[in-house]
Structure 1
Amino acid sequence: MHGVRYRWDGWESREDRPFSLDGEPGVALSRNRERLLARLRTRKGRTREGLVLVEGPRALAAALSAGAQVRFVVMEAGLHPTDSLSRLLSRASPEVVEVEAGAMDGFADTESPQGILAVVEEPVHPLPTAPWTADDPLPPRRILVLDALQDPGNAGTLIRTAVAFGVDAVVALDGTVDPWNPKTVRAAAGEAFRVPIHRMACEDFLEWHREARFTLVVADAGGQDVRHLPSLLQRIPPASLEGATRDVIEAIPANGHQPPWALVVGNEGAGPRSILRGAADRVLALPLAAGVESLNAAVAGAVLLWELGPARDQGPEPESLPPEIPTDPSPEQNRTPS
């Protein structure tokens, strides 16, 4: 597979691309790297290498802007990245291998590759433990827990939503699809690099919950109506910081009346594990129209993350309301311009 290797340096045309590595134009993508790309399509390979694949310009731009550590980039000849992606690549200056048009089909995970992928180091985040001390990083106050979700699209969508709604950490319990599966990373649009992701056995998570004493909220169809959420959470004492030093408590931003919480979104078919439901401080459900049995796991999780906040309090206030839309437009307003 023939290609060209170079360092990205904000070139404007093919002729401007500097070749600061030992490769010469026409050097093949090495067999070792081809084999590496194949291994990274498997969970075992990603775990062993500590590397993940990020495919597509949008996901790569999000990963780069989040500070992801890129080992190298593979790009199809003739691809013209957007100005924003070009700037991000210039700043990171990764090694780039340009391959022939159509060559991406051999090692990309998608059926229709978008012409660019990167090999990126999987972020490693230490798990905060209780009791918190002044020397520790601030403990997470909003946690999303994925309980045996099987669909990478659902997992990625929930990770992306968690980042958008201000979640501090994501926990993927045993039985959950790999959060660094290329399809999951793609569904998260590269936002997985913006939040700590921890893989844990369910028993270890419950032990962590007992030690940290955050409020455990489980999403389940048989739970309490989420519309009563404010009063439900007010009844739970914020005990998770008992024993913490005053500096830690004062350093943690106020979040209204809410104690720290973890939201569990369960398996698409079976729902949450009974052991998690039994350990929950609150089990919440979304009220649905008659005859509708359930929602997609990612949709239900997204709504509950919004309800738990603090996304509603984070966004800027609109400067002005949009113009009022007439409820009974006149025939003149309905007329299509000729």
Structure 2
Amino acid sequence: MKLLTLARDLQRRKARERQHRFVAEGVRAVETLLASPFEVTGLLVTAALQNDERGRGLLAAAEAHGVPVVEVSDAELESAADTDTPQGVLAVATIPEQTLAVPTGPARYLVLDALQDPGNVGTVIRTAAAMGVTATVALPGTVDLWNAKVVRSSMGALFHHPVAMLSWEAFSGFAASAGLSLWAADMHGDALDGLRPGACPERLALVVSNEGAGLSPHVAAAVSRTVTIPMAAEVESLNVAVATGILLYALRVASHAPRSS
């Protein structure tokens, strides 16, 4: 299959699952992708990419990695892109094997329960990477992690932060074998400002859910503790990406035992 035809096909989730490939758009995303261990199938570029130093550097990096480059027209690139302005470059790459290894030491997992907005999911993955989360797991009902909007909003985090899309049965089995404590964010949970340093389990999975629908019933039944962010009375809730960042930072602080004097 020609690279342009493949890139167009990968706009559909079923095609990504069948081909085990995804698309990354824009100079920054492709630069980060080329610097990662991912297998890059090829680049689609327009002539304009060679007009600036950064674009020429990207092409040189592709050549150094032996990545095929196909020049196309602006209209052809736009036909394969999710954005209106793909900046003259689009990459097709292989989706890596999505497996979770049982940790041998402290570990922190983020679990996405039916998060459907791709911009939020990409931001959440970027935040998880920044907060040192071991891996992010997407449960059924969550948007495809290799959706072009998720890839773009993750700002390259998907290329180095481990992710996996698992059924609830597969994840709960992994959690049991890994000895994970399962917590969830919920507006009626324990206030996070009450957690003392060292109070968090060494191996923890935090579930965040769709802010409108809340936790899936089977997930809610399985968690051992729910936590919440104390807020002003007049504010009902936070955007899930913002809330996840606050929660992960608070849990990171609470996971460290205080130093003895």
User: Normalization by structure 2: what TM-score?
Assistant: 0.88
Determine the C-alpha separation between the residues in 1 that align with 2:130 and 2:254.
8
Give the aligned residue type for 1:221.
Answer: M
Which runs of structure 2 are paired with 1:11-90 in the superposition (5 Å)?
A: 32-79=2-49, 80=52, 82=54, 85=58, 88-90=61-63
Which deviates more from structure 2 when the two are superposed, residues 71-80 or residues 304-313? 304-313
Q: How does 1:81-100 map to 2 (within 5 A)?
A: 82=54, 85=58, 88-100=61-73
| Residue 291 of structure 1 pairs with residue 234 of structure 2 | yes
Residues 157-188 of structure 1 show CA distances to partners (whole Å, capped at 9, x for unaligned) of 01111111111111110111000001100010
Query: 2:205, 2:113 → 1: CA distance?
Result: 12
| Distance of 1:106 and 1:162 partners within structure 2 | 32
Q: 1:64-87: per-residue Cα shift (whole Å, max 9, x none)?
A: 222221110011111236276456
CA distance 1:74–1:162, shift in 2 (3 Å): same
Identical residues among aligned pairs (%): 40
Cα distance in 2 between the residues matched to 1:309 and 1:65: 28
Please name the residue that 1:251 is paired with: none
| Alpha-carbon distance between aligned partners in 1 of 2:21 and 2:108, rounded to the nearest angstrom | 27
Kept after mapping to 2: 8 A contact 1:150/1:268: no
Kept in 1, the 8 Å contact 2:202–2:255? The answer is no
8 Å CA contact 1:37–1:107 kept in 2: the answer is yes
Structure 2 unaligned blocks of 5 or more: 257-261
Question: Given the alignment of the two structures, is residue 177 of structure 1 paired with residue 150 of structure 2, yes or no?
Answer: no
TM superposition shift of 1:35: 2.4
Specify which of 154, 168, 191 is matched with residue 157 of structure 2: 191
Report how many residues are paired. 253
Shift in Å at residue 205 of structure 1? 1.6
Spell out, residue by residue over 1:67-126, the C-alpha distance to the aligned partner (whole angstroms, 9 max, x if none): 221110011111236276456434423111112234311111112322111000101143
Quote the offset at 1:310 in angstroms. Answer: 6.3
Does the alignment pair 1:119 with 2:99? no
- The structure with the largest alpha-carbon Rg is 1
> What is the SS of the residue equivalent to 1:60?
helix
1:123-151 Cα offsets, whole Å, 9 max, x none, are 1143324xx7xxxxx46711111110000
Residues 22-62 of structure 1: CA distance to partner in whole angstroms, max 9, x if unpaired? xxxxxxxxx73332112211110001001110111111122
Distance 1:94 1:285, change over 3 A: same
Letter in 2 for 1:89: A
2:22–2:95 contact (8 Å) kept in structure 1: yes
Residue 117 of structure 1 aligns to a residue whose secondary structure is strand
Residue 104 of structure 1: aligned partner: 77
Cα RMSD (Å): 2.4
The separation in 2 between residues aligned to 1:283 and 1:84, in whole angstroms, is 48
TM-score by length of 1: 0.69
The alignment status of 1:158 with 2:124, answered yes or no, reads yes
Secondary structure, in 3 states, of the residue corresponding to 2:220?
Answer: helix
